[in-house]
Chain A
């Protein structure tokens, strides 16, 4: 009898949970988010997740879209394409309209392919892939897809910004990049823009390193020094970036570091005081942007995150993503992937800093402003409690990063 009662109670609870969950699902717009939440690159995924959650709370407080709230559903992909595809499967099984992924262009390439196939086979259960940081140039060119929207500048654009930021006196540069789709993309594009914009610059070293395997970069620094390079240009991210600059600073190498990701979580801590005025980052946002341009509202928004969490707010781009989603869902008038995708095309939004941004229709690449930050003392907001922070040394407007593309997009018919 006792046993029977327990069983009944158990099933009652189970029923309540599943029913409750179902009811909840009806009220929210679910966004699957897949990135490394464990393994060597866990710090990157974790930092993204916290910032996204903060932004979603804000967007929801502003009314969400169509009266529904956004809900983030995280899936760990351990930096593996296969795990990301499992996440996609779970997302489509639960009829989620969006999947978001930031880290790893190889994973992004696999996701684009899988999303294309899925959407072709399941016209009434389609999903949009929101790319929040996989930036290999190919993804919106040769591999472009109607279902893929990229919200960060691609490598070609970032490389142009980086090359333009090189001062006149630098004539010898060394390239180090990670040996996979993204790193190779950086390697190629940086060299292209060097040849085009700075023919006086000589590439004295050009190297690919295995992704996330190297613990001590001192040997590389020795080699870079021996090559006579004045600047190191790298697209490395995560530990590959942090350890590289740390080794350079420790060896007292007289180098400038031009990076894409030195400002992200963990970077400033690893660089330390020794990197003052040496490290530059091509970034979508920095905490000192708002005070420098005098936008108090944006400053308050970032400061609130800083006060709540132990690390810095670097992901203004994520807020732009959700503002696009909010606008596109409202414009589409329904939570329907196909309608939302069409609504997103050529959408323009003023981002929270007050700059114009646009989602290009022909390749689904966001065009937004970009910044070059220098790591130095005496800024309003320091990074990770190091006493140093990112001072904006250049601001590049959206219209100036607008590069042509080679995308031949296939649009869904009969939608």
Chain B
């Protein structure tokens, strides 16, 4: 029970962090069809900006300023970079963002060095909020949950209750029609790209001190975010939300259950010994392959339900 509750909480925190990252990417991907490889780089930039800003004016202003900076960079990239590249098709866009991710990583290495920077949780939130069966639950994790929940609410309201949200939704599903009706679709693209990047930046601000702020953080976070987006389905924020939480929980619980395929088989009276074919594979325990599970699920969903959990279009 203890393990279950603590793992549930940890899974939720990680899932919500994933969601903050993935929500921006899902908007960008479904609207513009751009598989933005540099998305996780914005996450990293957010963390580094927040670190630098918090050195001068503290963590709280950084919480606002760092995502804004990321958003500005995103807007600039879209207007002067992606839009030009867009004419040459999706492959060019893909390569553009891929190159960008590498450049940003190198740039971060050159600016802040290869070592992790001491970006710490603000003192105001650096205390255990409550104890579950003797395990401390840091207040900062609760703060992360609150921020991401607020953000989910804000995006949802913006998309469903505002005029610009309506236009974005229209452009999500019928980009050509929205354009034909006289909406400035390129400007919406810029807006969405900037907003998506800012969200990733925000995730970086609160994720950077929860994990460790170092130049490899984009590289390690990138693939899992793609899995979430594909799994959740294109054009669906709620699908993305469910997928994020699911991935967070799966990765957390996979660690806790020390079972292998062999254990499963023995339930059916089939005993695996070292002479059984594929014995090595069958006796690998779940924690050792936990990190692979999301990718396995992505492959499965692509085969059996290509549009993802709640997607409106095929991937």
Listed in ascending order, the chain A residues whose CB lies under 8 Å from chain B are 38-43, 46-47, 179, 207-210, 212-216, 218-223, 225-226, 239, 242-243, 246, 250-253, 265-266, 269-270, 272, 310-311, 384-386
Known: A219-B10, A225-B135. A46 touches B291 (CB 8 A): no
Q: Which residue on chain B has the smallest CB distance to residue A254? A: B134
Task: Report the tally of A-B residue pairs with Cβ distances under 8 A.
Answer: 101
Bound form: Cα–Cα A197–B15 in Å: 44
12 A-B residue pairs with CB within 8 Å: A42-B216, A46-B115, A209-B288, A212-B220, A213-B220, A216-B252, A223-B3, A243-B211, A250-B138, A252-B135, A252-B136, A270-B212
For window 276-308 of B, CB contacts with A under 8 Å fall at: 287-288, 291
How far apart are A366's CB and chain B's nearest CB, in angstroms?
A: 27
Picked from A226, A242, A251, the residue with its CB within 8 Å of the CB of B212 is A242
B271 interfacial by beta-carbon distance below 8 Å? no
* Chain A hits for B288, CB < 8 A: 179, 208-210
Beyond A47-B115, A253-B135, A269-B118, 12 additional pairs, beta carbon < 8 A: A40-B220, A209-B288, A213-B220, A216-B10, A216-B251, A218-B252, A219-B256, A225-B134, A243-B211, A243-B212, A266-B214, A269-B117
How far apart are B21's CB and chain A's nearest CB, in angstroms?
A: 12
How far apart are B162's CB and chain A's nearest CB, in angstroms?
A: 35
Bound form: Cα–Cα A313–B32 in Å: 49
Q: Which residue on chain B has the smallest CB distance to residue A219? A: B255
Known: A222-B135, A270-B116. A40 touches B216 (CB 8 A): yes
Q: Does B10 contact A215, Cβ atoms closer than 8 Å?
A: no
Q: Does B10 contact A218, Cβ atoms closer than 8 Å?
A: yes
Q: Does A210 contact B219, Cβ atoms closer than 8 Å?
A: no
Bound form: Cα–Cα A384–B117 in Å: 10
Bound form: Cα–Cα A215–B10 in Å: 12
**Max count, chain B CB within 10 A of own CB: residue among A225, A253, A265:** A225
Bound form: Cα–Cα A272–B140 in Å: 16
Bound form: Cα–Cα A269–B112 in Å: 15
Known: A213-B220, A252-B136. A42 touches B215 (CB 8 A): yes
How far apart are A298's CB and chain B's nearest CB, in angstroms?
A: 24
Q: Which residue on chain A has the smallest CB distance to residue B217? A: A215
For window 219-234 of B, CB contacts with A under 8 Å fall at: 219-221
* Chain A hits for B7, CB < 8 A: 219, 222
* Chain A hits for B138, CB < 8 A: 250-251
In the A-B complex, the 7 residue pairs with the closest CB atoms: A252-B136, A219-B255, A46-B114, A40-B216, A218-B10, A222-B6, A213-B291
* Chain B hits for A225, CB < 8 A: 134-135
Q: Does B219 contact A39, Cβ atoms closer than 8 Å?
A: yes
Q: Which residue on chain B has the smallest CB distance to residue A386? A: B118
* Chain A hits for B253, CB < 8 A: 219
* Chain A hits for B3, CB < 8 A: 222-223, 226
Q: Does A250 contact B211, Cβ atoms closer than 8 Å?
A: no
What mask results when residues 115 to 146 of chain B are scored 1 for a CB within 8 Å of chain A, else 0? 11110100000001001001110100000000
Picked from B136, B219, B255, the residue with its CB within 8 Å of the CB of A250 is B136
Q: Does A269 contact B116, Cβ atoms closer than 8 Å?
A: yes
Bound form: Cα–Cα A168–B303 in Å: 56
